[in-house]
Structure formats: structure tokens, C-alpha cells
Amino acid sequence: PEQLEEAAMRSNLIQQIVVIGQDQRRLGAIIVPNKEEILASKRLSTELSKEQITGLLSEELRK
């Protein structure tokens, strides 16, 4: 999980992340988004919905 956390922290869109489930078939993650960076990256001045933020973070983590 540490390698995944380090890779995810390279993204400006993620403020903090904790990957859970070491030695498990599937892993989970608790992610604190960097809302200012998300808004800046999308050139937005208003808040996004949780679903929109989740979608953006999912895309970012797939990179």
C-alpha cells in the first residue's frame, strides 16, 4: 500500500490518502481531495458535487 500512496500523492488533486487492506485480494482507500487544486484544474469557481469529485479522483488514480 505504501507504493500506491506515494504514487497517488504525486497528484496535486490529492491532499492525503491512506490505502487499507494489505495482503488482501482487494484494497480500499480513504482519500482527502485537494478541493482548491480540483477547482483550479477545471477552471471552476463553484463547488463540485461529491460524485463529480469522486469521478475526477478515480480518473486521476487510473493514470
Q: Which CATH number fits domain 2-62: 1.10.3470, 1.20.58, 3.40.50, 3.30.300?
A: 3.30.300
DSSP 26: S
Q: 13: burial class by Cβ within 10 Å (0-12, 13-18, 19+)? A: buried
Check residue 41 and give its pLDDT: 81
Neighbours of 57 (CB within 10 A): 20
| Run of H or E including 53 | helix 50-62
10-32 pLDDT per residue, tens: 999 999 999 999 888 999 999 99
pTM of the prediction? 0.78
Which tens digit of pLDDT belongs to each residue from 29-55? 999 999 889 888 877 767 788 898 899
